[in-house]
Structure 1
Amino acid sequence: MKLLTKAGSTVSLFLLALGISQTSAFYLPGVAPNDYTDNVHVPLYVNTLTPTSNQQLKSVLAFDYYDPRFHFCQPEDGPKQQSESLGSILFGDRIFNSPFELFMGKNEQCKLLCKTSAIPEDDAKFINERIADTYALNFVVDGLPAAHIAKDERTGDEYYNIGIRLGENDGTAALNNHYSINIEYHELPGNKKRVVGVLVSGSSRNTQIKDGKPVCDPNTPAFHLKEDGSSEVVYTYSVSWTPSSTVWATRWDNYLHVVDPSIHWFSLVNSIVIVLFLTGMVGMILLRALHKDISRYNAVEAQEDVQEDYGWKLVHGDVFRAPARPMLLSVMVGSGCQLVAMAALTLVFAVLGFLSPSNRGALATVMVIFFMIFGSISGFVSARIYKMNGGEQWKLNILLAATMLPGILMTTFSGLNFFLIGSKSSGAVPFGTMVAVIGIWLLISVPLSAMGSYFGFRKGKIEHPVRTNQIPRQVPDQPFYLRPLPSIFMGAILPFGSIFLELYFIMNSIWFHRIYYGIGFLFLVFVVLILTCSEVTILLCYFHLCSEDYHWSWRAFMTAGAAGLYVFLYSTLYYFTKLDINSITSTVLYFGYSGIISLLCSLLTGSVGYLACLVFLQKIFASIKVD
């Protein structure tokens, strides 16, 4: 019945994905639209310049729009940074006002933005290098990012691709110095209008100024920035307003186009097939082999045909022996449970629509908050596991549960932040933000973790169904495929195999600065990952016990946790196949962030594997009679 229930829940989740993945973007009550009337000023904000490409990415660094090396036009009273959420800052957004003047319904043709002074040689070289690296400008109007029309090569559908190319590189770099801005609006009764689309295209023109006005001719030659310190740039823009039938509530639909959704479905089906296969294997063991084993073990001793103890019952006196380094294991399992809770609740909020892309940085903000709050889970689980394994250094356990994972993350991010500062990238987190994050950790996460540890140690010790012998049993020689390293790496292939296709889309979203909105798929893949980790570790644990190897604790954690190692190897493959990075800074940043992601994945999956194996062993050894 349990297997039927699990299969039924899997089918239910699969059907839920149909609804989730087909749902259009929507807004929660309380997110109010902005209504404009004719000739009302519509502000255009500028964000960081980010590398973009449809083929191979050449950099992972982002730069402020008003970086003095670009010499872009500035507002008369100087640029002013807009307030942003914590997640938006951590993700590298740096939003400023701009000198662009947009008025609802008022078209403009060839309006002068500014004319720069002669651009120095080093700055001209810097700009041309950014053009060669296919950098893009990022404008924001009424909360919508500026985009250009792109076509899905597989389906032929048109969608909005975010970003405006800094320039074109057809052998020599041509700087885009004219922007054609097309604002789509939806008209409401009462002459109220709402912005529902922002399309911007850049072009390179060798524009001249006569009588104080620019002479815009689209047939003029492209403008090439000379690296001799003599080039002056004339920036111009045009504005057009286009009525649209798109309503405000669905204006994000064009931006949230899923490129080749069939691959997402293939990924989901592939993952579900793996889970069904493992469920069948585990079900066969639980319903046949284990049932037969337990029946034999519990047979009446007076029967002459009863065999002596064999198989996994032989290790009943050692299976719950405390593992090596119980402190480290308990802290890692606790941190993994913290990540599981954070990821699960974040995905639930995202699936329900609370983390709409219109709320810039909401996803990262929620993840940080949940991570801090669920420090209580880390402390509680760590204390329970450590006490179960007979640990006595409870003060050190409380300290490590609260500081080990956050300390590793903050130290690594701080080190990578110095590389960003050294390259003058806008991705560098400001000092004030770093202090705020540390303050949140010290004021929220650490006390909650200590409180969780307190309640964990206050509860009674987890009792095992069988006693542990004083003298450890000798483990016989194991066949090659059941030795630690081969079994760990073979077992971890299945959890990684259930996520690697969706991982490709996530990495594209991170490194190519695209909006990821396959939340329904991601939620189901996460569920499949949890089930796969649990079933793989239970399966291999049973095989090891039948071979009289009772050292299951670290092996269960590492079997599922090694999926993180495969994630890092996949990141390395992605680096050599999808990226064309040739700078040391970008390489260090890429592998640094990939290493952090892999570590978090290892802790998350490893904790699931360990707890699943612990519950499995508690159940089966409670079902047999032992003298």
Structure 2
Amino acid sequence: MHCDFRFTLFSLVSAFLILPFANAFYIPGWSIRSYRDGQAIPLFVNKVYSDNSQLQFAYSELPFVCPPSGRKHGASNLISGSSLALNLGQVLRGDRITLSDYELNMGNDDEAHYLCSRKIDWAGLKRAQELVADGFVAEWIVDNLPGATSFVTVDRSRKYYAAGFKLGYEDLSPTTGLPIYYINNHFTIVIRYHRAPGRAGNNGKKTIVGFEVYAKSLEAEGRNETGLPGDIQAVENGLQLQIGGNTTSTDKRDNSLYPNNDEVDDFDENATLTIPYTYSVYFREEEKVEWQNRWDLYFVDQEDSSKIHWLAIVNSLIISGLLTSLVAVIIARTIYGDIKNVKEKSLEEGKIKLKRRTPKSPKRKSTDKGGLLDQPDAIKDAGDSSDEEAAEDLTGWKLLHGDVFRTPPFPGILAPLIGSGMQLVFMATGLLLLSCFGVLNPSFRGGYISVGVALFIFAGLFSGYFSGRAYKTFGGQLWKKNVIVTATLFPGLLFATVFILNFFVWAQASSTAIPFGTLIALLSLWLLVQLPLVYAGSWFGFIRAGGWDHPIKTNPIPRQVPPQQWYFRSWRLVLLAGLIPFSVIFIELMFVFKSLWQDKSGYYYVFGFFAVVSVILILTVVEVTIVVTYNQLCAENYHWWWQSFLVGGSSSIWVFAYCLYYYYAKLHIQGVISGLLFFSYSFLACTVYGLLTGTVGFLSAYAFVRRIYR
């Protein structure tokens, strides 16, 4: 009965996460949609965004654009204004996709088409000016392609796309020197098509391989009775965003907004501005671009930077190679040499003991398992001379054989952190592999977030398993309490941060705000799905698998740690060790940050380079942690448990410091809310990165310590 319930619950979760993907997912070369001549092509409007703000807004809800008429679109059952079903990732990234009233029919050019005339009041005018001043661009969608503005490379050999088009532009008044804002109210839409492959192409059908939008501002005067301008090419006089004679305001940013009656005599609070919207449609055949390659134009800029990506890989390989050599020296020469000396000394002392016929000491009866470094205890029974000689051999890390596996402080926190880290390792590995194989691609809108959430929830099994085993290894008994802490520590921090930020975003009426229903769904996934999975994994790890067995026994009385050098003190060691992994990734980090913060319309798609750098990063974290742990043990400091975790995740501190530098040096984000979102998202991202690399560092250090004390 319980098994059936779990299966049903899992099926419901899978349906919630996976079924909406069908609206935005395709397999390159298979899910091709073709159109016959004259067939209606739906144009969807999504959102507006800016490189100067972290807030996004639904295009259809802007007060100065044409509202949907609600009419039926072409021969389909679609109605303008109807929203497209979104998956979880699309909702979380702020998408709000609705069908527009723009009429596009395959192969039919339209020189000029009137859409509507929108009247706006002072509030709508202010809103339009704010968005234009902040450089907001709009995203439209045709056949799952975002509308783009085309450019050419510096050598004019290739064309590339920049997704989105500007809502308007800013100019300076020649008389007052104050900014004047213009709204783009005419759109030239260019649809580039290619002959459909196979039987569909033989029947005259075509596929869309390009969607370009060129916006410009046309004045409202001089239009005919149908609302069309006399000359759509005349752009000398654009449509200025102002009402009446209200240009005497002295505020540079808010000129022509809510002027006082004392400043403008003819001010009328009921005055409006009418914005006429028109568009043109052109279809052009593109013979060089096929359907399966139509996204390449969006990535020309990333392809041109491949030399820098190779530089990042070479830089990472050099650093990792040096560390590998250092680790090889430590393991192959130092440690094995020390172990060999201990073995040889043990045999020699055994022969001396037989020759001297020293009085027999009481035979030690013990059933305790001992490792290699337990042997000097037997040697000490041979006499004072052997004690002194054995003590000479037991130096550095060999002196800690009775304390190296002593239970760390706060094991009830360390074990859940390790479990959460393994959960993130599984999620990140899955996302990276799916991206490298092309399953997650830009056409799969919201796919990275949706699949990431699904992998994170499923990985609750791994989180519970590793947390339970680590907790049992540390001697913990309250494993159910450990389940609660593991299932709520990181997910609770994530949910609480997003929930609090959502209040600020809601207040700005941004589409980035997560709907209340989605929050309830996420909360249900967390408490009703992930928590039981963590419980099941923890039960198996704690009860069935049990803790990891240490190779040697821990002494009942802890050894006193001698004073440490300044560079071995906790926070200094962590900061110094974190510089090395950070130096491996910082070049590739520039491209990731550019895609996330500077070019939100772009799509990071060089996952091959990213995967190589990620593998080198993990190897570097492993090697740095081993080197630091070995030197710490040589300094007779056995508090390596927490230290290895912190050293492994220490590069996250430098990544966050780089975020601070990037914010002040590269970005032009304006507004308190946008700054709060940037630093909150950066903190969460660095927390994820730190937990992941910290867990890798801890497990590698634990394996290393077990190996040398075996």
TM-score of the pair, normalised by structure 2: 0.81
| Counterpart contact for 2:165–2:213, Cα < 8 Å | yes
The answer to whether the 8 Å contact 1:184/1:243 transfers is yes
Q: How does 1:559-598 map to 2 (within 5 A)?
A: 559-598=647-686
Matched, 1:616 2:704: yes
Deviations 1:546-585 (A, max 9, x none): 1101100111111121211111111111110122223111
1:237 is matched with which residue? 279
Q: Distance in 2 between matches of 1:299 and 1:150?
A: 73
Change (3 A) 1:90 1:284: same
CA contact 1:27–1:249 (8 Å) conserved in 2 = no
- Is residue 57–residue 509 contact of structure 2 (8 Å, CA) maintained in 1? yes
User: How far apart are the structure 2 equivalents of 1:441 and 1:270?
Assistant: 40
> Cα distance, 1:451 vs. partner?
0.3
Contact 2:397 2:634 in 1 (8 A): yes
Matched, 1:449 2:543: no
State which of 243, 250, 256 in structure 1 corresponds to 2:299.
256
- Residue 174 of structure 1 aligns with an amino acid whose one-letter code is Y
How far is the alpha carbon of 1:230 from its aligned partner? 3.3
Deviation at 1:508, TM superposition (A): 1.7
Aligned partner of 1:378: which letter? S
**Equivalent in the alignment of 2:132:** 131
Amino acid at match of 1:206: E
Q: Is the contact between residue 227 and residue 276 of structure 2 (CA under 8 Å) also seen in structure 1?
A: no
- 3-state SS of paired residue (1:236): strand
Say if 2:204 is the partner of 1:203.
Answer: no
Output one character per residue of 1:46-78: Cα deviation in whole Å (capped at 9) or x when no partner: 011010xxxxx3211101112243343423446
In structure 2, which of residues 213, 228, 232 is the aligned counterpart of residue 217 of structure 1? 232
1:63 aligns with 2:57: yes
Q: Percent identity?
A: 38
Residue 459 of structure 2 is aligned to residue 374 of structure 1: yes
1:509 paired residue number: 595
The match for 2:573 among 487, 491, 494 is 487
Task: Determine if the alignment matches structure 1 residue 102 to structure 2 residue 187.
Answer: no
Q: Which residue of 2 aligns with 1:358?
A: 443
| 3-state secondary structure, aligned to 1:106 | coil
Higher mean displacement: 456-465 or 333-342: 456-465
Q: Quick check: 1:550 aligned with 2:638?
A: yes
Tell me the distance in 2 between the aligned counterparts of 1:320 and 1:170. 69
Could you tell me which of 325, 337, 344 is aligned with 1:280? Answer: 325
> How far is the alpha carbon of 1:291 from its aligned partner?
1.6
The secondary structure found in structure 2 opposite 1:298 is helix
Distance across 2 between alignment mates of 1:70 and 1:416: 28
Partner of 1:170: helix, strand, or coil? strand
The one-letter amino acid of 2:296's match is D
Q: How does 1:33-182 map to 2 (within 5 A)?
A: 33-51=32-50, 57-77=51-71, 79-117=81-119, 119-152=120-153, 157-171=158-172, 172-182=180-190
Aligned mates of 1:405, 1:491 — CA distance in 2: 24
Amino acid at match of 1:395: K
The answer to whether the 8 Å contact 1:154/1:260 transfers is no
Could you say if the C-alpha distance between residues 263 and 435 of structure 1 is closer, same or farther in structure 2, counting changes exceeding 3 Å? Answer: same
Give the secondary structure class of the aligned counterpart of 1:35: coil
Q: Which amino acid aligns with 1:557?
A: F
* CA contact 1:65–1:72 (8 Å) conserved in 2: no
Find the aligned partners of 2:55 and 2:154 in 1 and give their Cα distance.
Answer: 28
Distance 2:156 2:428 in 1: 32
Q: Is the 8 A contact 1:75 1:97 kept in 2?
A: no
Alpha carbons 2:585, 2:617 under 8 Å: kept: yes
1:11 paired residue number: none
Are the aligned partners of 1:207 and 1:217 in contact in 2 as well (CA < 8 Å)?
no
Distance 2:135 2:212 in 1: 19
1:602 aligns with 2:690: yes
For residues 342-363 of structure 1, the C-alpha deviation after alignment (integer angstroms, 9 at most, x for no partner) is: 1011111111111121121111
2:278 is equivalent to residue 193 of structure 1: no
Q: Does 1:410 align with 2:464?
A: no
Kept in 1: contact 2:114–2:226 (CA 8 A): no
Q: Which runs of 5+ in 1 are unaligned?
A: 1-25, 52-56, 623-627
Amino acid at match of 1:210: N
State the AA in 2 paired with 1:195.
Answer: I
Residue number in structure 2 paired with 1:478: 564
Partner of 2:521: 436
Deviation readout 1:478-533 (Å, 9 max, x if unpaired)? 11111111111110111111112222211222222121101111111211121111
Decide whether the 8 Å contact of 1:556 with 1:613 is kept in 2. Answer: yes
Amino acid paired to 1:318? D
Give distance in 2, aligned partners of 1:278 and 1:466: 29
Offset at residue 264 of structure 1 (A)? 1.4
Q: How many pairs were matched up?
A: 591
State the Cα deviation string for residues 89-139 of structure 1 (Å, max 9, x = none).
Answer: 11111100001100000001121111112x211221221121111110101
Q: Which amino acid aligns with 2:273?
A: S
Return 77-86 or 551-560, whichever deviates more.
Answer: 77-86
Structure 1 pair 154–413 and aligned structure 2 pair: CA distance change class (3 A): farther
Match of 1:532 in 2: 620
Find out whether 1:387 has 2:429 as its counterpart. Answer: no
Structure 2, unmatched stretches of 5+, are 1-24, 72-79, 173-179, 196-200, 243-255, 258-270, 353-388
Partner of 2:418: 333
1:32 aligns with 2:34: no
Q: TM-score, normalised by structure 1?
A: 0.91
1:123-178 per-residue CA deviation (whole Å, 9 max, x = no partner) reads 21221121111110101000111101134459974311100111122332221111
Q: In 1, distance between residues paired with 2:63 and 2:484?
A: 46
Partner amino acid for 1:64? Answer: A
The Cα of 1:284 is off from its aligned counterpart by 1.1
SS of the counterpart of 1:249?
helix
- SS of residue paired to 1:168: strand
Structure 1 residue 334 displacement after superposition: 0.8
Query: What is the alpha-carbon distance in structure 1 between the residues aligned to residue 708 and residue 575 of structure 2?
Result: 26
How far the C-alpha of 1:213 sits from its partner, in A, is: 3.5
Aligned Cα root-mean-square deviation (Å): 1.8
Q: Retained in 1: the 8 A contact 2:29–2:292?
A: no
Equivalent residue, structure 1, for 2:19: none
SS in 2 for 1:210: coil
Between 1:507-516 and 1:587-596, the stretch displaced more is: 507-516
* SS, match of residue 299 in structure 2: coil
SS at match of 1:588: helix
| Deviation by residue 1:180-222 (Cα, 9 ceiling, x = unmatched) | 1000001222110111100111111114431224123322411
Structure 2 match to 1:16: none
Q: What is the distance in 1 between the residues matched to 2:694 and 2:557?
A: 29
Residues 576-598 of structure 1, C-alpha deviations (whole Å, 9 max, x = no match): 01222231111111111111101
Instruction: State which drifts further: 596-605 or 199-208.
Output: 199-208
Q: What SS class does the counterpart of residue 48 from structure 1 fall into?
A: strand
CA distance in 2, matches of 1:371, 1:352: 20
Aligned pairs for 1:260-339 within 5 A: 260-301=305-346, 302-303=348-349, 307-339=392-424
For residue 581 of structure 1, give the secondary structure of its aligned residue in structure 2: coil
Please name the residue that 1:7 is paired with: none
